[in-house]
Amino acid sequence: MTHNVVIIGSGGREHALAWKISQSKILNKLYALPGNPGIGNVAELENINPSDFAKVEEFIRAKDIDVMVVGPENPLVEGISDYFAEKMPQLLVIGPKSKGAQLEGSKQFAKEFMERHSIPTARFKSFTSEKDYDAACQFLKELKPPYVLKADGLAAGKGVLILDSLAEAEAELKEMFAGKFGSASSTVVIEEYLSGIELSVFVLTDGKDYLILPEAKDYKRIGEGDTGLNTGGMGAVSPVPFATEEFMKKVEERVIIPTINGLKSDNIDYKGFIFIGLMNCNSDPYVIEYNVRMGDPETEAVMTRIESDLLQHLVSAAKGELASEKIEISEDQALTVIAVSGGYPESYDKGFEIKGLESLTNATLFHSGTKEIDGKICTSGGRVLAITAKGNDIFEAKKRCFEEVSKISFDKMYYRRDIGDDLISLSK
C-alpha cells in the first residue's frame, strides 16, 4: 500500500524530512503545509497556517492524505495530534499529543518527568512568580556559578540564561518573573550547571518500541569558536566521534529506555520523535532537555545518513508496530553548514536573490528561509540554506561542503567556517 503524506512546517528540517520521504517506495503523493520553495521541488505546497487545524483538516480530506508528519513543536504543543485523533482517528500522525508535547512545552514538566523516572539530569528546583523570589534566591545560593535559569514555557529557543554571578542571576530572575519571556517565564526552573560537550540524540517511538536515529552535534553560537549570540543552529555533524558504542549504550540504558518506560507508566500515548539534548560529562550522559520533534539543523545531516525507508518507519511508529522495524544507517560522515542573513540572530535584511543554487554537484541543499519572488529564489529569514556534504571522514566532508558553499552567494551571506573543527582532534 502506498501513502499520501503531508508534512507540517516550512524550514530546513521539514525540507530534509520531505527529501528523505520523497525517496520512499511506499509514497504515493507528498504535500507540505506551508513548505518553502526547496520543499516545493519534492512536494506539492499549499499556503495553510499549521495552527489553523480546521483548514489543515479540510486539506487532508480533500487530498485523501493518510499520514501527517509534524515538523515543529508549536502545533504539537497547541494540540494538533489531539485534534486529529478526535476528528480523523484513521489518520496516521507522527508527533505526540499535547500531554506528551509537554516534555518540550514545559521545562518543569520535563524535569519532574526525569526525576520521577530516575533519568540523569542536572539538580533543579522550579519557582512560580514573584512570591517565590526569595526562595529562588536561596536556592541559587546553594548552587555554584555559573547559574542556569530556564523559562518554563516555549520561548523560541531563547528562554535559557546562563549567568556568571549571583547578582546577575538574581536580577535576571526578577526580570523573568516580571515577564521577560511573557507568560513562558512566569515559572522558572533553576538548575545546576553541567559542564561537558553536547550531543543530540534522536529517537522514533510508537510509545512501546523505538529506533535510534543517527546522533548529531549542532553549533549554536553565531561566531566561530562558539562565540557570540545563540542562534537556531549554524551547522551540524553526524556521526559524532565521542558518541562511541560504549557511550551510546549508556544513553540507551540510562536515558532512552527509562524515557519510553516513563511515558508508558505515566499513560502518555507517544508516537513521534523524541530529541534528547544531552551533556556528556566525563563520559556519563545527562539530559539537558527533551524536544518532541527533530532538531534543526541536525535533521539536515541526520537524514542523509539513513539508508532504510523512513516513511516505512514512520508509518509503523504511528500504527504502534515499530517492533518489526530495523533502521539502516550509513557510516559516512555528514556535515551541514547553515548560510544565514548577515546580522542574524539580530536584525537583518531579506529579499536578496540567492545565486548559484543550480551549481551544487557534491552536496544536498535544503532551504530554510527562502521565498520565490518574480521567479527568483530570495532570502526570507535568518537561517537561509542548509548545505550537507558527506565524506569518508570529517576532513573530506568538510572540504566538500565548503567547496559547495562557496558556489552560493547572496548579499550579506554569512556562515561559520569552523563547523566540525572541535571534533577533528577527537576523531583521529
Site of interaction with ligand AMP (CB under 6 A):
122, 148, 157, 160, 191, 193-194, 198, 277, 288-289
Residue in 408, 402, 399, 400 with CA at minimum distance from that of residue 359: 408
Span interacting with ligand GLY, options 33-41, 159-167, 293-301, 373-381, rule CB under 6 A: 293-301
Q: Are 271 and 97 in contact (CB under 8 A)?
A: no
Under the criterion CB under 6 A, does residue 214 sit at the interface with ligand GLY?
no
Spatial separation of the C-alpha atoms in residues 201 and 165, rounded to whole Å: 31
Q: Are 238 and 205 in contact (CB under 8 A)?
A: no
The one of ligand AMP, ligand GLY, none whose footprint includes residue 193, by CB under 5 to 8 A per kind, is ligand AMP
Q: Which residue has the cell 530534509?
A: 16
Q: At what angle do helices 98-105 and 107-116 cross, to 10 degrees?
A: 100
Spatial separation of the C-alpha atoms in residues 176 and 150, rounded to whole Å: 9
The one of ligand GLY, ligand AMP, none whose footprint includes residue 296, by CB under 5 to 8 A per kind, is ligand GLY
Which H/E stretch holds residue 127?
Answer: strand 124-128
Under the criterion CB under 6 A, does residue 215 sit at the interface with ligand GLY?
no
Question: How many residues bind ligand GLY, per CB under 6 A?
Answer: 6
The one of ligand GLY, ligand AMP, none whose footprint includes residue 194, by CB under 5 to 8 A per kind, is ligand AMP
Among 24, 81, 238, 291, binds ligand GLY (CB under 6 A): 291
SS3 state at 7: strand
Q: Which is nearer to ligand GLY, 11 or 37 (CB)?
A: 11
The one of ligand AMP, ligand GLY, none whose footprint includes residue 233, by CB under 5 to 8 A per kind, is ligand GLY
The one of ligand AMP, ligand GLY, none whose footprint includes residue 59, by CB under 5 to 8 A per kind, is none
Residues with Cβ within 8 Å of 290's Cβ and at least 6 positions away in sequence, in order, are 103, 104, 110, 113, 259, 274, 275, 276, 277
Q: Give the chain's count of helices (H) and strands (E).
A: 14, 24
Q: Are 275 and 210 in contact (CB under 8 A)?
A: no
Shortest Å, Cβ 142 to ligand AMP? 15
Shortest Å, Cβ 146 to ligand AMP? 8
Shortest Å, Cβ 80 to ligand AMP? 22
Under the criterion CB under 6 A, does residue 233 sit at the interface with ligand GLY?
yes
Shortest Å, Cβ 77 to ligand GLY? 14
Q: Using CB atoms within 10 Å of the CB of residue 324, give its burial: 0 to 12 exposed, 13 to 18 middle, 19+ buried.
A: exposed
Q: Are 344 and 400 in contact (CB under 8 A)?
A: no
Under the criterion CB under 6 A, does residue 295 sit at the interface with ligand GLY?
yes
Among 218, 300, 309, 332, binds ligand GLY (CB under 6 A): 218
Footprint of ligand GLY (CB under 6 A): 218, 233, 291, 295-296, 298
